[in-house]
Amino acid sequence: MMWKVARFAAASLRGSRRLSTAIPAPSIVHKRGADILHDPWFNKDTGFPLTERDRLGLRGLLPPRVISFEQQYARFMESYQSLEKNTQGQPDSIVSLAKWRILNRLHDRNETLYYRVLIDNIKDFAPIIYTPTVGLVCQNYSGLFRRPRGMYFSAKDKGEMMSMIYNWPAQKVDMIVITDGSRILGLGDLGVQGIGIPIGKLDMYVAAAGINPQKILPIMLDVGTNNQKLLEDPLYLGLRRPRLEGDEYLEIVDEFMEAIHTRWPKAIVQFEDFQMKWAFETLQRYRKKFCMFNDDIQGTAGVALAGLLGTVRTQGRPLEDFTKQKIVVVGAGSAGLGVLSMAVQAVARMGGNRATATNNFFLLDKDGLITKERKNLDPAAAPFARNQGDIEGLKEGDNLIEVIKKVRPHVLLGLSGVGGIFNEEVLKSMRESDSPKPAIFAMSNPTKNAECTAIDAFKHAGPNIVFGSGSPFENVDLGNGKVGHVNQANNMYLFPGIGLGALLSGARLITDGMLQAAAERLASYMTDEEIQDGILYPSVNSIRHITAEVGAAALRTAVAEGLAEGHCEVGPRELQQMSEEETVEYVTRNMWFPVYSPLVHEK
Ligand SMILES: NC(=O)C1=CN([C@@H]2O[C@H](COP(=O)(O)OP(=O)(O)OC[C@H]3O[C@@H](n4cnc5c(N)ncnc54)[C@H](O)[C@@H]3O)[C@@H](O)[C@H]2O)C=CC1
Ligand SMILES: CC(=O)C(=O)O
Ligand SMILES: [Mg+2]
């Protein structure tokens, strides 16, 4: 689908529950007795039926009464709700961590129940297992650590990775998220504590894309940390040494990628929260060799592009007018540069001139507006550097207020990691925007790093703005019965579909074409009515539906580009013969859904 806007039937069709699979196939288990109870993949707690208890050597290891899945579910939700009640009035961080702990305990014990409550309550639980709480969890990781999750490859493992990878107990891995902990959300270098991010991202893969949790693998690549506080913390769990640099660093990542590819040649690797220099370097190094992508550069770009195109629609203009939108991006890191690169590609695809595509883009970093006069101009930012004076008075290093006043942008987009940088003066200056509906995207995470709050945005920039933020905020009551809608402009709307589409196509690589198709599908998902209400992205409650659509778009492009090798029993030819609708059905059918399946013991 190109730039046309698809219309959809009732929003109720988008609920995740409709996507559940029917009869559970049996699972083969190679253990018996207490070992099963201690394995969260197979454990059903008191839910084991009596026949299964007999078959698996569980008789006597559990209280006699069998509790149904529904009862277990209700009991967990009651505990969760009483925790909410009992922690009322306590500081947000205490409440959030208490909620994370209760969910994490269930995750450690019974994955089927955990993922079911997560999927059914994704709007309430995503902010706990994902941003913003996951940031707090990473910051407090040493204290919260109880049992390991995922794998840890450290600089000390050099030369061992090819054999270490076989320590992972699952035979098959489909989806890997890896970080080196060097730029965790907007919280900086958190070293080994960044493992919380791959875990949270993969939880979103299970919830949104239905990736089987037995086939996911969170990875921490511990190459040291430059965070002095952590290096001095006696309880810090990572290597207590400065980060490896240069070739020493790349040799570790190369060895890891080779090891993964040797054991699971079809696994998809998502790079997450790497500092900018390594984010770009590793993407260039591996994207033509492995099926991988960088979520912060590429996933974020697609979500932002969908928001930018939605913004054009809110103004009642045709999508092609995107080429005329003046966009100020604050933050010239992996995310900000990724967004602008994809925006250039979009202009080119709309028939715009690639050479002049950046004419309406304005990029700032910590030193202000980036122009060609910048000393030591970063080559990655160079394509977006302005000529001094190409708008009257515009000059190197202009601060944000100066830029907004001179440019009067349609869009102000923050990916700086600096909380509150869109202050009252900045937001008020957006009232002079050339757009009837100026857009403000405060995309940095977690919440305290957001460039502004939703309330401040509507209060200072005016009630007619369009607003998006990386972490969730409540909608804003504008008075007179009107609501300022808050969009969660987060890459969670794309990465699960990109990964799932790549997996089910059996793509050898993840190409720009696949990423563009995924972003375009997200951009066309909302109806005109929703867009007019300032709603640019679907509700998190329908994340499985949007992921199926995004996944199908990526899959079809992989097929069209001749990269699809097929998945399991579905070969490339069958993929090619599927209609658009059949592709969405195929993707949906392949989503794992948590139900207790009968366990069959095999030696
Ligand atoms: N909503 C979403 O889906 C996503 C949000 N993010 C968020 O974006 C933020 C940045 O991520 P990266 O680009 O990877 O980080 P980065 O560290 O690569 O880049 C940060 C950029 O912000 C600039 N900056 C710092 N202080 C500034 C200031 N006072 N004024 C203007 N610019 C300033 C830096 O110079 C740098 O160019 C993080 O907070 C991250 O959580 C990142 C990816 C996805
Ligand atoms: C959402 C995300 O990927 C980030 O903030 O880094
Ligand atoms: Mg990230």
In tens, the pLDDT along 374-417 reads 999 999 999 999 998 888 899 999 999 999 999 999 999 999 99
Among 174, 169, 163, smallest CA distance to 150 is for 169
Work out the number of other CB atoms within 10 angstroms of the CB of residue 75.
Answer: 14
Q: What is the CATH number of domain 140-290?
A: 3.40.50.10380
Which one of 184, 377, 415 would you pick to mutate in the ligand 1 pocket, going by the greatest count of ligand atoms within 8 A of its CB? Answer: 415
pLDDT at 24: 83
The predicted structure's pLDDT at residue 354: 79
DSSP state of 13: G
One-letter amino acid at 36 equals I
- Measure 133 CA to ligand 3 centroid, in angstroms: 14
Checking if the pLDDT of 4 tops 70, the result is no
Mean predicted confidence (pLDDT) in 160-186: 98
Q: What is the DSSP letter of 12?
A: G
Rounded distance, CA 264 to CA 286, Å?
16
Q: Is the pLDDT of residue 589 over 60?
A: yes
pLDDT of 17 strictly over 90:
no
What kind of fold does domain 298-492 have according to CATH? Rossmann fold (3.40.50)
Q: How confident is the model at residue 10 (pLDDT cuts 50, 70, 90)?
A: very low
Q: What is the mean pLDDT of residues 511-532?
A: 96
pLDDT band of 593, cuts 50, 70, 90: very high
Q: Is residue 16 pLDDT above 80, yes or no?
A: no
Computed over its alpha carbons, how large is the radius of gyration of the chain? Answer: 24
| Cβ atoms 319, 335 nearer than 8 A | no
b (16+ CB within 10 A) / e for 207-229: bbbbbbbbbbbbbbbbbbbebee
pLDDT of 86 higher than 90:
yes
pLDDT at 351: 83
3-state class percentages of the chain: helix first, strand second, coil last, to nearest 5: 50, 10, 40
Mean pLDDT over residues 170-175, rounded?
97
Residue 521 scores a pLDDT above 60: yes
Give yes or no for residue 418 CB within 6 A of ligand 1.
yes
- Long-range CB pairs of 80-83 (<8 Å, 24+ gap) are none
Mean pLDDT within 428-443: 98
pLDDT at 6 exceeding the cut of 80: no
| Res 22: pLDDT | 61
Whether the per-residue pLDDT at 9 is higher than 60: the answer is no
Q: Which residues surround ligand 3, an ion (CB under 5 A)?
A: 272-273, 296
C-alpha of residue 185 to centroid of ligand 2, in Å:
5
CB-ligand 1 contact for 417 (6 Å cutoff):
yes
User: What's the CA gap between 124 and 118, in Å, rounded?
Assistant: 9
Residue ranges, CATH 3.40.50.10380, the chain: 140-290
Report the share of the chain in percent with pLDDT over 90.
93
Ligand 1: nearest atom to the Cα of 336: 13
Q: What is the DSSP letter of 474?
A: -
- pLDDT of 12 above 90: no
Within the chain, all domains assigned CATH 3.40.50.720 are found at 298-492
Q: What is the ipTM of this complex?
A: 0.99
pLDDT band at 183, cuts 50/70/90? very high
pLDDT of residue 350: 87
Q: Is pLDDT above 90 for 7?
A: no
Of the candidates 44, 201, 326, 437, the residue annotated as catalytic is 201
Q: What is the mean pLDDT of the chain?
A: 95
Residue at 275: amino acid letter: Q
Could you tell me which residue, 354 or 580, shows the higher pLDDT? 580
Say which residues have a Cβ less than 8 Å from residue 106's Cβ, sequence separation at least 6.
76, 113, 114, 117
Side-chain half-sphere exposure of 439, counting CA atoms within 13 A: 32
| Average pLDDT over every residue of 454-461 | 98
492 within 8 A of 273, measured Cβ to Cβ = no
Backbone φ, ψ for residue 106 (5° rounding): -65, -40
